[in-house]
Amino acid sequence: MSPGRLRLGRTAIEVCPLGLGTWAWGDRIVWGFGRGYGEPEVESAYRASRALGIDFFDTAEIYGRGRSERILGRLVREGTGPVVLATKFFPYPWRPYGGALVRALRGSLRRLGVARVDLYQIHWPFPPVSIETWMNGMADAVELGLTSAVGVSNFSVRQMERAHAALARRGVALASNQVEYSLLHRDPESSGLLQACRDLGVTLIAYSPI
């Protein structure tokens, strides 16, 4: 592994220790009326991040209903140097079948303007579709070459273990579990999630760390 880099799970993907989440890029841009901020501010934030060596960017299809993906994709295409792109699938109730995941990923790829992402994650473990069904969809996405690695987000210890086992049956590694984790929110420590990630070789990605 390169100095100063971290590996996502047991994959070959390496990232800088600090990544940038782009939820606000889609949901909090406000035009006019002197409120919020617009794409020029977002572009400045992106350039400043790249100048500091940040190359790991996380988005999701539900951030601004795809707007975050479109903005991030444009900035990546207009910029220089490689970046690690991660996005997320949201298991809406009207997506009651595994094939919906691959279809959603293709939509994300169109908005991002790339052939594949580095990391594709499922946003929440919502029923009624089973974790195993979604993980089969994730494995399909890997086999189709649409993503290099797969992860989960907001999964408990047991849910993560189920996801890990389901993917292992398809020969795919679970790379990450993205959860809220900070000095003020330390549930991953008390719940055993942090240790479970270590035991399974899964990288814990902290969101809202500050």
Cβ proximity of 90 and 123 under 8 Å: yes
63 as an active site residue: the answer is yes
| pLDDT for the residue numbered 203 | 98
pLDDT band at 2 (very low <50, low <70, confident <90, very high): confident
User: What pLDDT was estimated at residue 31?
Assistant: 44
Kindly report the average pLDDT of the chain as a whole number: 92
pLDDT digits (tens, 9 = 90+) for 133-185: 999 999 999 999 999 999 999 999 999 999 999 999 999 999 999 999 999 99
pLDDT in tens, 58-89: 999 999 889 999 999 999 999 888 999 999 99
- Across the range 12-29, mean pLDDT stands at 84
Residue with tokens 């903005």: 71
pLDDT band at 210 (very low <50, low <70, confident <90, very high): confident
The two tokens of residue 201 are 């070789």
**Is residue 126 exposed (0-12), middle (13-18) or buried (19+ Cβ within 10 Å)?**
middle
- Model pLDDT, residue 40: 84
pLDDT > 80? residue 34:
no
The model carries a pTM of 0.93
pLDDT at residue 96, as a whole number? 82
Query: What gap in Å lies between CA 42 and CA 22, rounded to an integer?
Result: 9
The conformation of residue 209, written as its DSSP 8-state character, comes to: -
pLDDT of residue 170: 98
Sequence length of the chain is 210
The whole-angstrom separation of Cα 94 and Cα 88 is: 17
Question: What mean pLDDT comes out for the span 187-198?
Answer: 97
Catalytic residue among 63, 97, 120, 207: 63
Structure confidence at residue 30 (pLDDT): 47
In the prediction, which pLDDT does 33 show?
43
Neighbour order of strands in the sheet with 203-207: 20-21, 56-58, 84-89, 117-122, 147-153, 174-180, 203-207
Q: Is 4 left (phi over 0), alpha (psi -120 to 50) or beta?
A: left
